[in-house]
Structure 1
Amino acid sequence: MVEDEGGRTPEVTRDQPRTAGPRQTWAGLPWPVRTAVTWSACLVVVITGLWLLGKIAVLLAPLAIALAGTLFLAALLDPVLRLLRRLRLPAAPAALLTILLLLGILVGVGVLVWNLTASQFGELSQQLGQGLERTRDFVTSTLPITEEQLDRLVQQTRDGLSGSAPDPVGGARTATEVVGSLLLGLVLLFFLLKDGRSMWHWVLRRMAGPRRDLTAEAGSAGWRTLGAYSRGTMIIAAIDAIGIGLALVLLRVPLALPLALITFLGGFIPIIGATVAGAIAVLVALAANGPTTALLVLAAVIAVQQIEGNLLEPLVMNRQVQLHPAVILVVVTAGTLIAGIAGAFVSVPVAAVTWRIIDTVQRHRTASTA
């Protein structure tokens, strides 16, 4: 820098240009650009986080499904455990007896259904063949399609299904993962029933101040929601199975008990499960007894589902469990894509509990700041 005659450095005049700092550059941008940049950065962060969570969920899908199913069964069986504890039974025998009761019911129902319907499978295979022939004649006579085109379409569908079938190695690995998840779930269920409350109290004792009260409140709300969902869903699924099974018996549709059992299991997948179970019942009635019986079964399925949605669900389900149907569809679809049928079973209770915990935390913070 050049000095003047007195040896002093001349001051920088205001007319000389200065280098703008990052803050000045950001402030100089128009507000739509700043808003777009901010939202884009947040969106990138959120999408990256969801992608990482999805990758972790896929890698740990068997463990996550086992944990979710264990919590669901523990909430379902909690009243039985508390009843046994009131009878002065120790924690370990009470938990073991509760699990044995669950396994006894499942095995007993399976054996009963098999003994009552095993003789009907051979007859049903013939009736399905006749029903498919009637369906084929109806399609070719009603729609603008020839028998050759329909046969070609059926063959392409069969080839696609056979091509997408898993290889023996993949099937064996999947079966091993399923068996391992079931065994892990049973062991975790025993320890959760035996020591669940003491483990939760241990977690709370490690916290202090307002965080402890918030955690206790959110955990209690989530557990109540899971218990209300599990018991309410089981009651509604049982009523659906009884109603549709009774209609199938009155209409003399074969395999009424297995179809009622499928309806009961489908009731644990909201919206989609009931629809699929009803469609299976209608197809079996069509193949076995013809279109008139199929229409009557369809009417019975629709009537039972309307009674369930408009009367039973508001009475049985707690309001804090209810989710919007659009949310349920998205959650069930996401769970199915991640972990198949098991993911569809556990996705809705996980979403309901998560939402209840978030809502409890928000209400607690609002009350504390008011």
Structure 2
Amino acid sequence: MPQGKYFRIGYGMIVFLVIVWLLHQVDFIFRPLWTIGKALFFPFLLAGVFYYILRPVVLLLERRRISRTLSIVVLYLLITCVIVSLSMFIGPVIRKQVEMLIANLPELIDSFRSQLLELQAKPWARGLFQEGNTDLTDRVADYFSGAMTTIGDRALNLMAVTTGILVILGMVPFILFYMLKDGEKVPHILLRWLPQRHEVEGRKILTEMDDALSSYIQGQFIVSLVLGVIIYIGYSIIGMEYSLLLAILAMMTNVIPSVGQLIGVIPSIIVAFIHSPSMVVKVVIVVTIAQQIEGNLLSPHIMGRKLDIHPLTIIMLLLVSASLAGFLGMLLAVPLYAIAKVIVQHALRLFILQRSAPEPSKEP
């Protein structure tokens, strides 16, 4: 049997494909594991994100000679107070804006169609529209009408999804509690896999990985929160309708690097266009100022060490994730990729360290 390098690679690929084919034949064995994994993925993901956001507070309380368990309980009480306070002050505003949006939806669609017709009548804008069967105005308006009808028809499915989300959110505090309580023990467990002579280097690698994840998650959270506040203040100053809802949407989409702000501002531009073209200009000015503050002041000082991702990689991730999981996939794809990139880079170093040359044999 040939023993050349390329033949060995070919043998390895054949063995790998055979293993994949055999696993596919007995996929019923792994289907329960896949179901369990899907059920646990999002609760542990959210708990992991909140772990890095809340861990500095727990450590601060612990340095004040408060036990770890009591620190977590105090933190939970503080978070409960904050949530209750926000619900009392912001909750009614959000509910009012949601009710207004639902009640005014048919009128908003008609206004949007009217604004498009007025724009179509402008001499400088005629080239953007096509007459006949491909009329852009009718197509866009019909798209919004169809989207609203689809939402209404799938109300029951939406309720089922909402129930599932609430169940997941109900599990997160319990998972997060044990993460905050015992999360510091994970490095010690991982270091047991390494030879004792590599323990110092292994601890250094785990510390770098933890710092990178902590910097990214905490930085994205703070930057997105501050950006949302800035946009809300700007929208309130210019008299933008549904300002709080639009600011929250912009804050949520900002976690997507490079294109998140663009995705978040599109609904604002649509609502502003329904109001008047001059409002679109005001929204663009507010968003531009917010982006300048975020890019020149917030991110450089808060994010610290960034995880560089090539723009082409971001586009590919968004296209694939959008086709697989819709908007939720777009929301999570780039952050998950950035986190996985750090984990893989440092895990590879740990693997190489663990597979390094064995200790020299003792002299007889």
TM-score normalised by the shorter chain: which range applies? 0.7 to 0.9
Instruction: Report what 1:291 is aligned to.
Output: 277
Question: Distance between the aligned counterparts of 2:91 and 2:314, measured in 1?
Answer: 33
1:308 to 286, 294, 299: 294
Instruction: Report what 1:257 is aligned to.
Output: 244
Instruction: Report what 2:131 is aligned to.
Output: 145
Instruction: Report what 1:276 is aligned to.
Output: 263
- Does 2:188 match 1:201? yes
Amino acid across the alignment from 2:280: A
> Which structure has the larger Rg?
1
Question: Distance between the aligned counterparts of 1:54 and 1:223, measured in 2?
Answer: 32
The answer to whether the 8 Å contact 1:241/1:263 transfers is yes
Question: Distance between the aligned counterparts of 1:61 and 1:194, measured in 2?
Answer: 25
Question: Distance between the aligned counterparts of 1:341 and 1:360, measured in 2?
Answer: 30
Name stretches of at least 5 consecutive residues in structure 2 with no aligned partner.
358-364
1:224 to 193, 211, 228: 211
> CA-to-partner distance for each residue in 1:172-194, whole Å, 9 max, x for gaps?
55334322221221110011112
Distance 1:87 1:137, change over 3 A: same
The answer to which of 149-158 and 347-356 deviates more is: 149-158
The answer to whether the 8 Å contact 1:61/1:339 transfers is no
The answer to whether the 8 Å contact 2:314/2:334 transfers is yes
> CA-to-partner distance for each residue in 1:295-342, whole Å, 9 max, x for gaps?
221233234324434553233223253333333344455555555555
The answer to whether the 8 Å contact 2:227/2:251 transfers is yes
1:134 to 91, 109, 114: 114
Instruction: Tell me: higher relative CO, structure 1 or 2? Use CA pairs within 8 A at least 6 residues apart.
Output: 1
SS at match of 1:319: coil
SS at match of 2:222: helix
Distance 1:61 1:217, change over 3 A: farther
SS at match of 1:181: helix
Distance 1:99 1:269, change over 3 A: farther
1:97 to 44, 51, 74: 74
> CA-to-partner distance for each residue in 1:20-59, whole Å, 9 max, x for gaps?
xx32xx87xxx9x9699689769969998xx999997787
Distance 1:283 1:245, change over 3 A: same
Instruction: Report what 1:178 is aligned to.
Output: 165
Distance 1:284 1:158, change over 3 A: closer
Distance 1:200 1:128, change over 3 A: same
Number of aligned pairs? Answer: 340
SS at match of 1:184: helix
Question: Distance between the aligned counterparts of 1:57 and 1:222, measured in 2?
Answer: 27
> CA-to-partner distance for each residue in 1:321-364, whole Å, 9 max, x for gaps?
33333333444555555555554444444333332233335567
Amino acid across the alignment from 1:323: I
Question: Distance between the aligned counterparts of 2:189 and 2:65, measured in 1?
Answer: 23
Amino acid across the alignment from 1:260: A
The answer to whether the 8 Å contact 1:336/1:344 transfers is yes
Instruction: Report what 1:243 is aligned to.
Output: 230
Question: Distance between the aligned counterparts of 1:259 and 1:160, measured in 2?
Answer: 19
Distance 1:258 1:169, change over 3 A: closer
Question: Distance between the aligned counterparts of 1:202 and 1:362, measured in 2?
Answer: 17
The answer to whether the 8 Å contact 1:57/1:338 transfers is no
1:358 to 325, 344, 348: 344
- Does 2:100 match 1:114? no
- Report percent identity of matched pairs: 20
Question: Distance between the aligned counterparts of 1:61 and 1:344, measured in 2?
Answer: 18
Cα RMSD for the two superposed structures: 4.3
Q: Normalization by structure 2: what TM-score?
A: 0.73
Amino acid across the alignment from 2:65: R
Question: Distance between the aligned counterparts of 1:303 and 1:72, measured in 2?
Answer: 29
Name stretches of at least 5 consecutive residues in structure 1 with no aligned partner.
1-21
Instruction: Report what 2:360 is aligned to.
Output: none
Instruction: Report what 1:61 is aligned to.
Output: 38
Instruction: Report what 2:65 is aligned to.
Output: 88
